[in-house]
Amino acid sequence: MPSLADATPPIALGALDGRYRAAVAPLVDHLSEAALNRERVHVEVEWLIWQTGHGLVPGVRRLSDDEVAALRGIVTGFGPDEVAELAEIERVTAHDVKAVEYLVKRRLAGIAPAAQDRGLGELVHFGCTSEDVNNLSYALMVKGAVTQVWLPRARALLEQLATMARELRDVPLLAHTHGQPATPTTMGKELAVLTWRLGRQLRRVEGQEYLGKFNGATGTYGAHVLALPGVDWLTVSREFVEGLGLTWNPLTTQIESHDWQAELYADLARAGRILHNLCTDVWTYISMGYFAQVRGQGTVGSSTMPHKVNPIRFENAEANLEVSGALLDVLGSTLVTSRLQRDLTDSSMQRNIGVAVGHSLLALENISRGLAGLDAAPAAMAADLEANWEVLAEPVQSAMRALGAQGVPGMQEPYERLKELTRGRRIDGDDLRGFVRGLGLPDDVEARLLSLTPQTYTGLASRLVDLLP
């Protein structure tokens, strides 16, 4: 039997790089190993440009505009050839960041050969420990993945959900608490609740800080001060980090502490759990017949039962959100701890960021496609409301309580009387209206209750949808 491991091209081990590759492909530019190396090159190049542009080392000339453009072109032109070259160098160095340093030096020799002869190449990676480059690279990678890929997809889903809520603003729905019929609401209001929750989490993600440090082997600038004692290294570090579009972390060990990552992953996981709640609710509404799944799209709902259209988009999203949430949780809990100055648990752990965000992105895609395939079924919702007149026991006993508090006679024990009427049995409109007429209510209150139906007992549900931004 041939080994699948030997197949060409290689067969993916994980679902994200196999079955679901198309849905998560945009993340490859941000969270793959190749993207990590590109960002490392980016940081090394920008540090070299910063040093020469600010006259950090006495006697080193400023690079020309063409040389700066050529150096930045290493980053913008980074592709499969550079990936292969780095792999070749790393086979010798057995160190990934050192391989990046050597690659940049090779390119610099071709861009400014005369300057290279005078030792300009020694300013590549000058004063840096590997983690100076890595922490900035990861911050740039995660920032790009979140702001350019995940957030736009999440915002699009948020707007899709808000649009559904507004469209179903006035469609009455029998609510269920503990799985039992409860005070009616509207489908729009229920979707608006989930929209509101998700929107709040997205605003937290949008406000995320992406921190970076640039302070040497133990966070003390020891080598920096010894090599160039006249330089204000705190200012240099802050300006360089902020120049990359990151927030400067002034106090660290050898590694950036990763607290910002833990904060971000907690917010992403929480957003995912809200979406998981959306999936389970919509799945339940589909099972109750409140949503019909659009047919005629060429899909097979069940391999044996032609009548079925399975809610697979929501089920798929649930599974992916559970995987994503678990990974985001372990990332957040592990990354914030490092033994003394440094250990390498974070190095291995951070290589799973793409998997965690990828499963979340895949879930967003499936939820969006699932929602797009739904048609509301107001008739089914109305039928359930009509079959549950007992839910109007709540407003009747509440009206009696208010009247009793005002001293109106005959309003004693309203809860108990309504419980006797409704508990354990179904009533219809005639039963309820007969009960109301026998209470001796003031005419205006009686008229209000007699006109009430399960379909109209939705309170301010419709208006609450209007609170969505």
**In whole angstroms, what separates CA 64 from the centre of its chain?**
42
Which residues, in sequence order, are bridge partners of residue 291? 376
Mean pLDDT estimate for the chain: 93
pLDDT score at 118:
64
pLDDT score at 307:
53
- The percent of the chain in helix, strand and coil, each rounded to the nearest 5, is 65, 5, 30
Residue 410 in this model has a pLDDT that exceeds 90: no
236-258 burial by CB neighbour count: b if 16+ within 10 A, else e?
bbbebbeebebebbeebbbbbbb
DSSP calls for 80-101: HHHHHHHHHHHHHHS-HHHHHH
177-188 mean pLDDT: 96
Both tokens assigned to 13: 């081990």
Taking the C-alpha atoms of residue 253 and residue 224, their distance in angstroms, rounded to an integer, is 16
132-166 per-position pLDDT tens digit: 999 999 999 999 999 999 999 999 999 999 999 99
The answer to whether the CB of 124 falls within 8 A of the CB of 43 is no
Q: What percent of the chain has pLDDT over 90?
A: 83
Same fold, 10-128 and 131-382: no
325-348 mean pLDDT: 94
CATH superfamily of 389-453: Fumarase/aspartase (C-terminal domain) (1.10.40.30)
- Residue 3 burial (10 A CB sphere; 0-12, 13-18, 19+): exposed
448-456 mean pLDDT: 96
DSSP calls for 174-222: EEEETTEEEEEEEHHHHHHHHHHHHHHHHHHHHT---EE----TTSS-H
pLDDT score at 315:
97
Architecture of domain 10-128: Orthogonal Bundle (1.10)
Domain ranges across the chain: 10-128, 131-382, 389-453
pLDDT score at 295:
55
Q: How confident is the model at residue 73 (pLDDT cuts 50, 70, 90)?
A: very high
What's the whole-model pTM score?
Answer: 0.93
**In whole angstroms, what separates CA 304 from the centre of its chain?**
36
User: Quick count: other Cβ atoms within 10 Å of Cβ 466?
Assistant: 12
pLDDT score at 70:
97
Indicate the CATH number for domain 131-382. 1.20.200.10
Both tokens assigned to 153: 């997809």
302 noted as active-site residue: yes
Both tokens assigned to 458: 């939705």
Residue 305 in this model has a pLDDT that exceeds 50: no
Residue 170 in this model has a pLDDT that exceeds 90: yes
82-99 per-position pLDDT tens digit: 999 999 999 999 999 999
178 noted as active-site residue: yes
14-24 mean pLDDT: 94
- Selecting among 64, 176, 287, 302, the annotated active-site residue is 302
412-418 mean pLDDT: 86
Residue 298 in this model has a pLDDT that exceeds 80: no
pLDDT score at 6:
87
374-403 mean pLDDT: 95
Taking the C-alpha atoms of residue 210 and residue 194, their distance in angstroms, rounded to an integer, is 28
- Residue 303 burial (10 A CB sphere; 0-12, 13-18, 19+): exposed
389-396 mean pLDDT: 93
pLDDT score at 294:
78
pLDDT score at 303:
47
Q: What percent of the chain has pLDDT over 70?
A: 96
Which residues, in sequence order, are bridge partners of residue 211? 247
Residue 120 in this model has a pLDDT that exceeds 60: yes
- Selecting among 178, 303, 348, 451, the annotated active-site residue is 178
Residue 296 in this model has a pLDDT that exceeds 50: no
187-195 mean pLDDT: 98
Characterize the bridge pairing of strands 211-212 and 247-248: parallel
pLDDT score at 456:
97
Q: How confident is the model at residue 181 (pLDDT cuts 50, 70, 90)?
A: very high
